[in-house]
Amino acid sequence: MLKRTGWAVVLGVIGTCLVPSLSYAQVFGVELRANALPAAGGMAGTGIARPQDVQSSMVLNTATLTQHKGTNFSFSGAWIEPTFNLDNEAILPGGSVSPFRQKSDRPGSLIGNIVATQDFSALGLPVTAGLGLITASGLGVDYRESAASNGTSAEFMVLSTASALGVQLTDRLSFGAGLNIATAQMDGVFSGQSASTPDYGVRGNLGLTYDVFDRTTLGAFWLTKEKHVFENFIQAGPFPFQDVSMELPNIFGIGISDESLCCGKLLVSVDLQYMKWSDTDFWGSLWDDQLAVQTGLQYTTDRGIRLRGGYTFVENASRTTPAASIGGITPQTSVDYIRSLLPNISQNRISAGIGVPNVLPGIDLDLFAGGMFKESQSFGATTVDLEAYWVGFGITWRFRRGACGHQCTPDQW
């Protein structure tokens, strides 16, 4: 059994290292958040107050790390399949793009997340630490099959190495802090003007949780901006290559979770996340600030099986009036055409999932699926239709020895 478990860990690490180019169909702009994580993925991405998986603690509110006792190692994977149709009805400025209609050829995305947490209560410290490899942000479209598109494609992806600490300040109050070191890759966007360019960035995360009652918890977090400068990214006309600055936004979140209903079998979570796109480089030229309202449920059966469901409403973040340029760059086509490649229009999502604890001694299995309803919007002479679905799983190894005075795995298998 130990041999098979070891192989599972190795395969999980390899799976994350082989994550391909991303095309999330923009869950929250380019931010994936917790929508494709083991338990949160079935609960509409909720988890600011009482997350049901360790990945969500690293991605959302780091103060919730204190809720994970002992040693936890979790690997999750998801397949995200978007459908992205573009219909351009005009010859754009400069004649660089002609009328065409095409579905994006960008394939779906296989993404992975790995997180390990350890609490130090055995040493008398009210601290829990976490480390992880996180698939954070992404977007991708490809219309190069149509000659009229003049090689139109776009790709943006961010993978993060995350570290965090959660501290139990009192019996009811916890504080958390985290640091993400990210590698980003950007390609396309400005048709015929730019090339694939990497960059690195950092992002901080601060969080709090407070147990209002024994079964009711409030949580809040602040995720700082993440700045990237893609050097020599674009050449506009006869000018030398120029750098492009791009930022991921400040994100503020608040959530409440309660599990007092149905004799403690029903967990109800409501999260609000607010993304400050308007004051970011690049995206601020395309999108206004955006509010996401997330609701998630988890019912635990008499046999311990966890049934999950959720619904999310997100504001359409498209600016009413397009900017004159994007990040200081005037595209050869038009700003409206670039907006159609990078829309932030999808508003409604649903999800469902199931969690099975101890499928093997000390090993939990989670399965989830979700969908983003079809949305359509016109940007000048270009119309875009966007929808997506995703499915995924998570496997979590939980070791309870020592730190929490309880063991859920036998000493020998």
pLDDT in the model for residue 326: 82
Q: What range defines the domain where residue 28 resides?
A: 2-399
pLDDT band at residue 191 under the 50/70/90 scheme: low
Within 13 Å, how many C-alpha atoms sit on residue 293's CB side? 5
pLDDT band at residue 15 under the 50/70/90 scheme: very low
Of 160 and 108, the one with more pLDDT: 160
pLDDT in tens, 239-285: 677 888 999 999 999 999 999 999 999 999 999 999 999 999 999 99
Helix, strand, coil proportions of the chain in percent (round to 5)? 15, 55, 35
Average pLDDT over residues 355-371: 96
- What is the DSSP annotation of 151-195? S-EEEEEEEEEEEEEEEE-SSSEEEEEEEEEEEEEEEESSTTTB-
Q: Report yes or no on 254 lying in a domain.
A: yes
Q: Measured in whole angstroms, how far is the alpha carbon of residue 208 from the centre of its chain?
A: 20
Q: Label residue 369 exposed, middle or buried (CB < 10 Å: 0-12, 13-18, 19+).
A: middle
pLDDT band at residue 199 under the 50/70/90 scheme: very high
pTM for the full model? 0.88
Which of helix, strand or coil describes residue 148? helix
Q: Report yes or no on 407 lying in a domain.
A: no
Which of helix, strand or coil describes residue 404? coil
What is the H or E stretch that residue 314 is in? strand 306-314
Instruction: Say if residue 160's pLDDT is above 90.
Output: yes
pLDDT in tens, 286-306: 999 999 999 999 999 999 999
| Count of domains forming the chain | 1
Q: How many degrees, rounded to 5, is the angle at CA 77 between CA 400 and CA 22?
A: 140
Report the chain's mean pLDDT, rounded to a whole number: 87
Residue carrying structure tokens 């602040």: 222
pLDDT in tens, 33-74: 999 999 999 999 999 999 999 999 999 999 999 999 999 999
For residues 39 and 53, what is the distance between their CA atoms, to the nearest angstrom? 6
Instruction: Say if residue 357's pLDDT is above 70.
Output: yes
pLDDT in the model for residue 237: 62
pLDDT in the model for residue 327: 73
Q: Report yes or no on 9 lying in a domain.
A: yes
Q: Report yes or no on 206 lying in a domain.
A: yes
Give the CATH number, domain containing residue 337: 2.40.160.60
pLDDT in tens, 66-102: 999 999 999 999 999 999 999 999 888 877 789 999 9
pLDDT in the model for residue 345: 93
Q: Report yes or no on 405 lying in a domain.
A: no
Residues 6+ apart with CB under 8 A from 145: 102, 105
Q: Report yes or no on 406 lying in a domain.
A: no
Q: 87: how many CB neighbours lie within 10 A of its CB?
A: 16
Q: Report yes or no on 303 lying in a domain.
A: yes
For residues 253 and 258, what is the distance between their CA atoms, to the nearest angstrom? 17
For residues 51 and 63, what is the distance between their CA atoms, to the nearest angstrom? 11
Q: Report yes or no on 410 lying in a domain.
A: no
pLDDT band at residue 325 under the 50/70/90 scheme: confident
